[in-house]
Amino acid sequence: MNLSFFDQFASPQLLGIPLILLSTLFPALLLPSPTNRWMTNRLSTLQSWFLQLITKQLMIPLNKMGHKWALILSSLMTFLLLINLLGLLPYTFTPTTQLSMNMALAFPLWLATLLTGLRNQPSVSLGHLLPEGTPTILIPALILIETTSLLIRPLALGVRLTANLTAGHLLIQLISTATMTLLPIMPTISILTASILLLLTILELAVAMIQAYVFVLLLSLYLQENI
């Protein structure tokens, strides 16, 4: 029984071929195709307004040099948001519950922000490893601590996204299993459990959006430190 709870996190296969690549490309089908007109319908207008809102929020902590990253960060935000929300539909798979995929997104972007800082302002970037006014005796320990905290940033990004989505999916499956099990035995308790399941599903919708925003926002803050 315990193993079946984690089967939802395994990539579905067709003829022995993992379908995780197809599931990551599927959100692109929800975006409107480019045309010669600025706005084709209300849906494209709403999507354009939403993308503009996302980009504006992500660019607030950045200076003008960081605005070059607007397309990358807004695209990543849209990608994560659509994948997280689509993963809540029945009989679907959420690729962002895989730590390997989240690390593949977090590590290159974190490394790009770090290399940007080392190229543009190496002294300032390296100065973050040693706060000003540190006693001489604490310098080696602080450099070690700051370096460790810097290197675990991509791991923290990937683990945070994976853990939050995995915990939510497990709770939904546990409560739904309890609802169906209690239905023939204690219908009243089963209805109460179903109401809790509905509230948890609404909460997971919020978590899916918040976690996508937090992932990209932290990347933008890392970028701000290095430009």
Domain limits, the chain: 41-226
H/E run at residue 17:
strand 17-18
Residue 13 phi, psi (nearest 5): -130, 150
Q: How confident is the model at residue 1 (pLDDT cuts 50, 70, 90)?
A: very low
**Chain segment 91-149, per-residue pLDDT in tens:** 777 888 888 889 999 999 999 988 888 888 877 777 777 777 777 787 788 888 888 88
C-alpha torsion sign, points 149, 219, 89, 28: negative
**DSSP for 31-42?**
SPPP-SSS--SH
Output the pTM of the full model: 0.80
Which residues, listed in sequence order, are joined to residue 14 by a DSSP beta bridge?
17
What's the confidence (pLDDT) of residue 214?
92
pLDDT, residue 2, reads: 47
Under a CB-based contact definition with an 8 Å cutoff, are residues 224 and 61 in contact? yes
Residues forming a β-bridge with 18? 13
203 — pLDDT class (breaks 50, 70, 90): very high
Residue 24 clears pLDDT 80, i.e. is over it: no
The pLDDT score that the predictor gives to residue 12 is: 66
Question: Which contiguous run of DSSP H or E holds residue 165?
Answer: helix 153-182
Q: Tell the burial category of 219 from Cβ atoms under 10 Å away from its Cβ (0-12, 13-18, 19+).
A: buried
Query: What's the mean pLDDT in 193-198?
Result: 90
142-179: per-residue pLDDT in tens? 888 888 888 899 999 999 999 999 888 888 888 888 88
Residue type, 125: S
The amino acid sitting at 189 is: I
| pLDDT, the chain, mean | 81
